[in-house]
Amino acid sequence: MRAPIVVYPPSDEGRRVRADGEAIGRARSSRELREFLRRAGLPDWETADLTDPALVEWRGPGPEVWG
């Protein structure tokens, strides 16, 4: 099973984010990513483990790098 959220490598504009295959925007921080999780309707978006590969697939560096 693929992770429902895919976060692409950082760029000057932030990291592209997809939810269930649909582009949903660019995040510049874990706070912004959590907002995308909320909008996507994911439960527990406030406390979700962003390093959980069942939830988030990080392409490039993980949640510690944004730009």
User: In whole angstroms, what is the distance from residue 32 CA to residue 26 CA?
Assistant: 8
Supply the pLDDT for residue 40: 85
| pLDDT tens column, 9-54 | 999 999 999 998 899 999 999 999 999 999 888 888 999 999 999 9
Identify the H or E element spanning 32. helix 30-39
What band does 2 get if pLDDT is binned at 50, 70 and 90? low
Provide the token pair at 51: 């390093």
Closest CA relative to residue 31, chosen from 15, 55, 19: 15
Provide the token pair at 36: 């995308």
CB 57 within 8 A of CB 8: no
